[in-house]
Amino acid sequence: AALSPPERARLVRQLRVFWDVHRFRIAPQVASVLDRRHAAGTFDTIAARLVASNDEDGSLAVSFQRRGQTRIETASFDAVINTTGPAHGQALQLNPALSSLAEAGLIRTDQYGLGIETSLDSRAVGRDGRIITTLFVAGPLARGTFGELMGLPEVARHAQTVATEIARLLDTPATISANAARGSVTS
């Protein structure tokens, strides 16, 4: 049986970090360098929330809270690499084009905070919950509806499905105007 929406949201919230780590691996050459640096004590991986960072005589004074801990630690580093990945839940605020569509009520964030809510045929769902029949979403921004859409094979398959749907829509006689030959298509 399928998971209920609250169960799916909980699963995404709790397991996404583990999935992303194992799904998107680094190149073996990079892993080898990091392993050598870690063994030499010149590189460390810390799962934590960044609290503050300040320049301090050529290094970074960083305050952080380790995952699962309440205590805030401060340490000095030569460099800090943030590996949180894309801010899926903030995509509508951070991208001017998406922000404009959201402000117009044409799109909204999906219930899992992974991207844009879509119908099962990849059409955007507006702020009021209605399907926007002429606005399609392809690729990673639609993964709240379709699941894994981050790797190239998945993105390519999804884009092909969306393109096929758009071609089908444009091929119906009711949507083609007399000016279609010049590139002017109406809905």
Both 48 and 92 in one domain: the answer is: no
Question: Is 82 within a domain?
Answer: no
Q: In this structure, are residues 158 and 149 in contact, taking their beta carbons and an 8 Å threshold?
A: yes
Question: Is 69 within a domain?
Answer: yes
Q: In this structure, are residues 62 and 48 in contact, taking their beta carbons and an 8 Å threshold?
A: no
Question: Is 187 within a domain?
Answer: no
Domain span at residue 121 reads: 88-182
Both 104 and 172 in one domain: the answer is: yes
Question: Is 162 within a domain?
Answer: yes
Determine which of 24-33, 85-94, 164-173 has the lowest per-residue pLDDT on average.
85-94
Q: Does residue 82 carry a pLDDT above 80?
A: no
- Distance from C-alpha of 33 to C-alpha of 50, rounded to nearest angstrom: 25
**Residue 25 — pLDDT band, cuts 50, 70, 90?**
low
Q: In this structure, are residues 150 and 139 in contact, taking their beta carbons and an 8 Å threshold?
A: no
Calculate the alpha carbon distances from 17 to 119, 135, 149 in Å: 25, 30, 15
- Tens digit of pLDDT for each residue in 90-129? 777 777 788 889 999 999 999 888 889 999 999 999 999 9
Element (DSSP H or E) covering residue 48: strand 48-56
9 vs 128, residue with greater confidence = 128
Both 60 and 95 in one domain: the answer is: no
Both 47 and 95 in one domain: the answer is: no
Both 110 and 130 in one domain: the answer is: yes
Give the mean pLDDT of 44-73. 89
Both 68 and 114 in one domain: the answer is: no
Q: How many domains does the chain have?
A: 2
What pLDDT was estimated at residue 3?
80
Both 56 and 32 in one domain: the answer is: yes
- Distance from C-alpha of 112 to C-alpha of 137, rounded to nearest angstrom: 16
Q: Does residue 151 carry a pLDDT above 80?
A: no
The first and second tokens of residue 7, run together, are 């169960």
* Long-range own/partner contacts, residues 132-138 (CB < 8 A, 24 or more apart): 132/106, 132/107, 133/187, 134/187, 135/101, 135/106, 135/107, 136/162, 136/165, 136/166, 137/107, 137/162, 138/162, 138/163
- Distance from C-alpha of 120 to C-alpha of 160, rounded to nearest angstrom: 15
Q: Does residue 168 carry a pLDDT above 70?
A: yes
